[in-house]
Amino acid sequence: MAVERVTRVIGTSPVSFQDALEEGFNRAKRTLRGITHIDIIAQKVRVENNEIKEYVVEMDITFVLEDTVG
């Protein structure tokens, strides 16, 4: 039986939602092991002077908690 944990990550990019998702995921996988899935919570854009300046993806990343020895 596995126990999972969820952590919220926010990725940003000046390019696209896809790039913002990949930025957040790439950063998370550097420190989280056993990632099983990602739920997209929100997609937003930051606007400045009537132009899109940044794409923002808020995501919940689920990963399996490892057993500790001891």
Which one is predicted more confidently, 69 or 9?
9
Element at 19 (helix H, strand E): helix 17-28
Q: Which pTM value belongs to this model? A: 0.86
| Three-state DSSP class for residue 14 | coil
Q: Minimum mean pLDDT among 9-13, 36-40, 63-67: which range?
A: 63-67
d(CA 38, CA 19): 15
**Which structure tokens are listed for 44?**
């937003």
d(CA 2, CA 42): 27
d(CA 33, CA 35): 6
Which one is predicted more confidently, 11 or 67?
11
Does the pLDDT value for residue 43 go beyond 80?
Answer: yes
